[in-house]
Structure 1
Amino acid sequence: MEWRNIYRGMLMGTSDVVPGVSGGTIAVVLGIYDRLIEAVNGVFSKEWKKQLGFLIPLAIGIGAAILLLSNLIDHLLENYEQPTMFFFLGLIVGIIPFLLNKADYKRNFEGSHYVLLLISVLLVGSLAFFNTGEPEAWKGSLSVSQYIFLFFSGWLASMAMLLPGVSGSFLLLLIGVYPTVVGAISELQFDRIIVIGLGVLIGIAISGKGINHLFKHYPYYTYAVVTGMVIGSIFVVFPGVPASMVLCLITLMGGLLAAFLLGKVEYE
């Protein structure tokens, strides 16, 4: 078991509860994104024991962060939304150099790579213009159609969580079930948690194979798309002109520093 993954998972889980911030983005910061995709894809191979040794501690960390820190994140977003989002903004900006260096873009990127990168920026950045409104949590017992919708919501969110720059929680917000999912976790509504969890597992299994195939056969095109997604997520996370410029600049620098230090520790 790679027990070091518990703290990595906690960092990923913390980001997953923030709409607009992707757990896949944090995996890039930590230098484990390629390994994560390989492990997800390898669960159904002969090396499944080795891959579970990587994934189980990561899942423990993610689950612990979601259960233990979701209230803290909610508190920070409710009372210090802009400084909190500027911290995550700093994290996102800070990983872009890591991605470009990993792809060795000066040597490997051509015109077509930059076109894909730009398209990815525009596609993810356009999510910032969607009006999410204020969806309400579903109360009481659910109908069969609502359980089916929750299943596919978990499926969609899990596929998004594996992609840097695409936030699973933000997509849940867009389709109107984010409060329902968060409420199910915080109130331990096991029927809803099981249905969502099944959707998450199936979504991860299917999307993991697809992403792994792309990295193996089209690595630089894939890095171009992933880098574009991360850049595009800046527009999604940006909370607007800060009311407290000094505090937001401090948290922004804190996010940049955290990305640098995490990257330095993990890549060395």
Structure 2
Amino acid sequence: MAKPSGHHVFNAFRGALIGTAEAVPGVSGGTVALITGVYEKLIDGAGHITSALRMGASDLPRGRGAARARAELRNVDWTVLLPLLAGMAVALVLAAKLIAPLVEEHPQSAYALFFGLVLASLWVPYSGSGKRWTVGNYALCVVVALGAFTLTGLPPGEMPTHPVVVALAGSIAICALVLPGISGSFLLLTMGLYEPTIEAVNERDFGYLAAFALGCVVGLALFVKLLKWLLANYHHMTLVVMTGLMAGSLRALWPWQDDDRGLLAPSGSVGLTCALFALGAAVVIAVLVVEHRAQGKKAEPSAAAPKRGRHARVTSGSGRD
């Protein structure tokens, strides 16, 4: 039975939120995917697609590549993935044109809003596996958070826009796209390629965009398979690491920073900044409450059924965590 068109529109809206986040330095599209409940669906779909491409290429000389690739692609939930990707693509182009300049003109207000959003989002990976955290889990989370805190404190640099460099930057940025907490745009900013990439999108520089897209494809093929395997086999520990990444990356969104990303004490329009921070947190809390109630109406959990987190595993892995 086909799903109603409203379902596809909602998935496109989810994709638009993810695409918009990727245009803002410091905000991770993966974080927004977690909030909207489609993160593992995206990773699962990307994993099947990259496997299909690999099978098609490796088995092509023996004439079996097309059949194996089609079989792998049938495992993708296209009713979710296609609207998501369409929404992401449209929103990314529009956000690069409209939202990115607003962030540059009003960084304190914009970062306050996103700081509240990401801070409230920590609840998602923290509670995602349904397992109780141990002392070791908390220690690992702190170590990862310190690493992310250090990474997001690196001052912006400059790199040439040579196609090889652009492709390498794309492969790194796409890994950040699928990893909650680390922003692909922020990494591009650190490498000095954020503004050239935004300009290439706005000016339709297809040479630059082709090199960047090639890097994204390679990076996605390598990283998504690893992440999918980790979610299937070490789901709880993977979410512990994600929680640390998101917590440490909050440094990138601290509203008071100098040009070299040094942290400053609150000053100037502190009241408005705090209000925007509270608004960002409230938006996430509202989304989580609505989703929780919607899931509760679908089915009442059986008393004998084991408790699970809000995000199901991408595959029926061995569950060795």
TM-score of the pair, normalised by structure 1:
0.89
Residue 257 in structure 1 maps to residue 282 in structure 2: yes
Cα deviation for residue 53 of structure 1 reads 3.6
Root mean square deviation of aligned Cα: 1.9
- Superposition pairs of residues 19-34 of structure 1, within 5 angstroms: 19-34=25-40
Residue 166 in structure 1 maps to residue 172 in structure 2: no
Taking the aligned partners of 2:212 and 2:135, their CA distance within structure 1 comes to: 41
Residue 210 in structure 1 maps to residue 236 in structure 2: no
**Where do 4+ consecutive residues of structure 1 move more than 4 Å?**
none
Q: For the Cα contact (< 8 Å) 1:82–1:242, is it kept in 2?
A: no
Q: Which amino acid aligns with 2:205?
A: Q
Taking the aligned partners of 1:148 and 1:31, their CA distance within structure 2 comes to: 35
Q: For the Cα contact (< 8 Å) 2:96–2:201, is it kept in 1?
A: no
Q: Deviations over 1:169-219 (max 9, x none)?
A: 111111121111111001011111111112112212221111111111111
- Identity across matched positions, percent: 30
Cα deviation for residue 235 of structure 1 reads 1.3
Residue 190 of structure 1: aligned partner: 206
Q: For the Cα contact (< 8 Å) 2:149–2:251, is it kept in 1?
A: yes
Residue 58 in structure 1 maps to residue 87 in structure 2: no
Q: For the Cα contact (< 8 Å) 2:153–2:251, is it kept in 1?
A: no
Residue 132 of structure 1: aligned partner: 156
Q: Which amino acid aligns with 2:120?
A: G
Match of 1:98 among 117, 124, 134: 124
Higher RCO (Cα < 8 Å, 6 or more apart): 1
Match of 2:269 among 210, 232, 244: 244
Q: For the Cα contact (< 8 Å) 2:43–2:228, is it kept in 1?
A: yes
Residue 147 of structure 1: aligned partner: 163
Q: Which amino acid aligns with 2:287?
A: L
Where does the alignment leave 5 or more consecutive residues of structure 1 unmatched? none
The alpha-carbon distance between structure 1 residues 157 and 67, as it changes in their structure 2 partners (threshold 3 A), is same
Taking the aligned partners of 1:187 and 1:250, their CA distance within structure 2 comes to: 36
Taking the aligned partners of 1:79 and 1:238, their CA distance within structure 2 comes to: 16
Q: Which amino acid aligns with 1:253?
A: A
Cα deviation for residue 114 of structure 1 reads 1.7
Taking the aligned partners of 1:258 and 1:242, their CA distance within structure 2 comes to: 25
Residue 216 of structure 2: aligned partner: 200
TM-score of the pair, normalised by structure 2:
0.75
Other structure's SS at 2:27 match: coil
Cα deviation for residue 3 of structure 1 reads 4.2
* Larger Cα-atom Rg: 2
Cα deviation for residue 131 of structure 1 reads 1.1
Higher helix share: 1
Cα deviation for residue 129 of structure 1 reads 2.3
Taking the aligned partners of 1:122 and 1:32, their CA distance within structure 2 comes to: 27
Cα deviation for residue 242 of structure 1 reads 4.4
Match of 1:115 among 128, 132, 139: 139
Q: For the Cα contact (< 8 Å) 1:31–1:263, is it kept in 2?
A: no
How many pairs are equivalent? 258
Match of 2:109 among 83, 87, 90: 83
